[in-house]
Amino acid sequence: MSIDYENELNAAQFEAVQHTQGPVLVIAGAGSGKTRTIVYRLAHLVEQGVDPSQILLLTFTRKAAQEMLQRTETILGRSLHGTSGGTFHSFAYATLRMNTHDIGFPNGFTLLDRGDSEAIVRDVRSDLQLGKGDKSYPKKNTLLDMITKSRNKERPIDAIVEQEAYHLASYVEDFETISRGYEEFKKNHALVDYDDLLFRLDQLLSENDPLRNQLQARYRYIMVDEYQDTNRVQARIVQQLAGDSGNVMAVGDDAQSIYAFRGANVANILDFPKTFKGAKIIRLEQNYRSVQPILTMTNHILENAQTKFEKKLFSELPSEQLPEVIYPISDQTQARLVTDKIIELGRKYPLHEVAVLFRAGYQSYHLEVALTRIGIKYQKYGGIRFHEAAHVKDVLCLLRLVLNTHDLMAWQRSLEHIKGVGPKTVNKIYEALHTDGKEKYLRTMRTKHQDLDDLLNELDAIRRNPMKPSAIMERIMTFYTPILTAKYPDDYPKRQAGLEQLGQIAANYTELESFLGDLSLDGDPDEEKRKENAVVLSTVHSSKGLEWKAVIIIDCVEDRFPSKKAMNRPEDLEEERRLMYVACTRAMNSLHLFVPKTIYNRFNGVSEPALPSPFVLELPSHTFSRLREAYSGGMEPQISKKATPAAAGHPSGETAGSSNKPSEKLGFCKHKIFGKGKIIARVEPNKYRINFPGFGLKVIIEDYVELL
DNA sequence: GCCAGAGTCCTTTTT
DNA sequence: GGACTCTGGC
């Protein structure tokens, strides 16, 4: 029983599957059967007699790895026992955990998630008394952003600030001080953040020859998915693991690079042939996912990119139906129109084959309410993660205390449930717990706060007799439930259901430590599999690598998609473009873009006019059909050119079949202050959106610029 | 000195 | 809706 590779793959895919010795780079356009290629290559290796445990599959999410391994098992008809698959981070976590003594944490370490790291940064700042009383001082989120950006891009903080956040230049020294304080805190408390996982692994590999050799010998075949979204450390890790044999396959698509904000470096994919000498390059260009009209449109999105991507995907799937651009009157009515559209699509496809995509997690709120009201099930990806929800963190911190009594973060969170105990008292209690001669203070506190006594007794009891994670979870829940109901009187039933789910996950583990690690690394239990007949709501980032029969993209307006934060720097705007490209290429048969004409501003409670996304304005009008919401409700075709912002962007209107590239047509201009710039689009009747090198995007009234 | 509750501002994307 | 600051009360 053998797989007929040649018939089930196209020529390029077949080549990639056959090429097992030495480095290969597969440039795989959207929907070009990338996953299929990896899956068949895995199967091929195993059929060739490679021991599955010699294969390492690094992907962007744990879910992607599991899916690939599962599909491989299906076509092979046998289990792939021993193959390592997961994210760089989870691989690093597992490897570091087996070598804790070598990285200076003989007693183990605790993994921090984003929230933990932010809390440390906040405390470091307040301990150092930086920016006291300064209301416009950068928030902990921003502080941490600068720190991790600097690490991920491996450039000093001042360089990052200069390039990406010039308005914060006066805080550079503070950033550096806080960064040092943060590093020190982590070191003192045996804490490790996401970035540390990668850097410590890299360091371990380069310093520990025996270990590196051992891992090189073990992982003879390495495959890395989504290579365009790896950063420099990740590339080094691959290099060190692959060693001289260099049996590495990297798969990626430079047009789909959407993680530059986190240090991903497209140069990795471009430099792959240099790093791995003699690398074979294979391009997959036939698209098997989308019908041709959708591809025609997405090719146009790429065409206006500043960095040209040399690819034109083609499809053999015909369709009469053009993608639709729909103009609701407001973002409120958008929710209703989208709901109607979902119902309509639901008659044609199962609901889990319909996805609504958006730029940021909060954008789906209106829609979530509307769906709940009419009883349509949905499943949300992205936005607030399961393990970040306050109540889940509460429970996880209690579990962490079972494992590690030195986990200050966990103490802080757990003790603050106690009335009359705040940050200062927590620190005192923490100290009293860990120093001799402070028993008296502890005893007074225990008598003063019954809740504290209960907590400490409970933890002691659990630690005294070892139990399975699920049993510990059960005891912790008994303890936590009263706190939960008191803290969240409005919605505790919902949260309780989430915690029960957590209990079920715990049942799959024999070790508390790996349960906690997995959860912070990729632990949304809802993401495990698609729920039957639940429409999918997802951020574009979380939609990466997935596909649906029908895709709806909402809020395609300026400041939402592209995000407001990305409007200042041309390279950020370019990433937004690729993001739009990724979003549209998720669609197989049907694609709908919603462009609300007004957006509710919760700051002043007024609905304000919104400009259509430049990525929509640029599209040649022959690539899509246009509908708008009638004031009487329902939809009508958009005929009047003047009434639509889109038409304003296309002076040639309905006959614009020939004006494929509005940006080229609009050309360049000159401004007294900003100098020469490229006109991106015409907005409103009398303004231009112009990209000025060094100044970024501006909207300027036409009278103030001189056309060149 | 420390905690809790009221009042104010701003909301990207993720391992 | 959350994170942060400010202020009154213990």
* CB-neighbour burial class of residue A201 (10 A; exposed 0-12, middle 13-18, buried 19+): buried
Report the CATH architecture of A387-520: Orthogonal Bundle (1.10)
What's residue A658's pLDDT?
A: 32
Chain B bases near protein CB atoms (7 A cut-off): 1-4, 10-15
Q: Is the peptide bond before A562 cis (omega within 30 degrees of 0)?
A: yes
CB-based burial, A373-393: b 16+ in 10 Å, e otherwise: eeebebbbbbbebbbbeebbb
Q: Which nucleotide is nearest to A416 (CA to C1')?
A: B3
Strand C reaches within 7 A of the A133 CB: yes
Residue A298 CA distance to nucleotide B8 C1' (Å) = 43
Question: Is A387-520 the same fold as A5-97+197-286?
Answer: no
Residue A524 confidence (pLDDT): 60
The architecture CATH gives domain A5-97+197-286: 3-Layer(aba) Sandwich (3.40)
What does the alpha-carbon distance between residue A657 and residue A98 come to, in Å, rounded to a whole number? Answer: 61
Cα separation of the two ends of chain A: 68
Q: Profile chain A (708 residues) by mean pLDDT over runs of 10 residues.
A: 84 93 92 93 93 93 85 89 89 92 86 89 85 80 92 92 84 90 90 94 94 93 94 94 88 91 86 88 91 92 76 81 91 89 93 93 87 86 75 88 84 86 86 84 85 89 87 89 80 80 83 82 60 87 91 92 84 90 95 91 75 90 87 68 39 34 59 70 72 63 75
Q: Of A627, A647, A625, whose CA–CA distance to A637 is shortest?
A: A627
- What does A391-439 look like in DSSP terms, one character per residue? HHHHHHHHHHHHH-TT-HHHHHHHHTTSTT--HHHHHHHHHHHHSTT-H
Which nucleotide's C1' atom has the smallest distance to the CA of A538? B13
Beta bridge partners, A682, equal A688
Q: Are A583 and A545 in contact (CB under 8 A)?
A: no
Q: How many of the other CB atoms lie within 10 Å of CB of A643?
A: 13
Nearest DNA or RNA nucleotide to A63 (CA to C1'): B15
Residue A406's Cβ-count burial label (10 Å; 0-12, 13-18, 19+) is middle
C-alpha dihedral, A691 to A696 to A698 to A703, nearest 10°: -60
Q: In what order do the strands lie in the sheet with A378-381?
A: A378-381, A535-539, A354-358, A548-553, A587-594, A324-327, A625-629, A635-637
Within 7 Å of a protein beta carbon, the nucleotides of strand C are 1-6
> CA A139 → C1' C4, Å?
9
Q: What is the pLDDT of residue A550?
A: 96
Each domain of chain A, given as residue ranges in start order, spans 5-97+197-286, 111-189, 324-377+533-637, 387-520, 668-707
In the annotated binding site of A, the residues are: 28-35
**pLDDT at residue A674, rounded to an integer:** 63
Give, in Å, how far the C1' of B11 lies from the CA of A8.
47
What pLDDT, on the 0 to 100 scale, is given for residue A310?
A: 65
The pLDDT assigned to A705 comes to 76
Query: Is the distance between the Cβ of A180 and the closest atom of strand C smaller than 7 Å?
Result: no
pLDDT attached to residue A647:
36
Calculate the CA A537 to chain-centre distance: 14
Give the DSSP H or E segment for A227: none
pLDDT at A644: 41
List the A113 CA – B3 C1' distance (angstroms).
27
Residue nearest to nucleotide B1 (CA to C1'): A424
Compute the distance between CA of residue A403 and CA of residue A547 in angstroms, rounded to an integer: 40
Is A139 (CB) below 7 Å from strand C?
Answer: yes
Q: Rounded to an integer, what distance in angstroms lies between the CA atom of residue A74 and that of residue A291?
A: 27
Task: Please report the DSSP string for A308-349 in residue order.
Answer: PP----EES---SPPPEEEE-SSHHHHHHHHHHHHHHHHTTS
Q: For the residues of A484-516, what is the DSSP string, one character each?
A: HHHH-TTTHHHHHHHHHHHHHHHTT-S-HHHHH
Strand B proximity list, CB < 7 Å: A 60-61, 87-90, 113-114, 141, 145, 148, 194-195, 258-259, 261-262, 359-362, 382-383, 385, 416, 419-426, 521-522, 539, 541-542, 563, 565-566, 572, 602-603
A634-656 pLDDT, tens digit per residue, is 777 765 443 344 433 333 333 33
Other beta carbons within 10 Å of A426: 18
Say if residues A292 and A317 touch (Cβ distance below 8 Å): yes
Q: How many CB atoms lie within 10 A of CB A478?
A: 10
pLDDT of residue A530: 59
CATH 3.40.50.300, applies to A324-377+533-637: yes
pLDDT of residue A649: 37
Of A688, A615, A619, the closest CA to residue A657 belongs to A619
Q: Which residue is nearest to nucleotide C3 (CA to C1')?
A: A139
Six token digits for residue A159: 């360089």
Q: State which residue has its Cα closest to the C1' atom of C10.
A: A420
Separation between the CA of A437 and the C1’ of C10 (whole angstroms): 29
- The string of DSSP codes covering A511-580 is -HHHHHHHHHHH--GGGSSPPTT-EEEEETGGGTT--EEEEEE---BTBBTTBGGGSSSHHHHHHHHHHH
Check residue A662 and give its pLDDT: 39
pLDDT at A697: 66
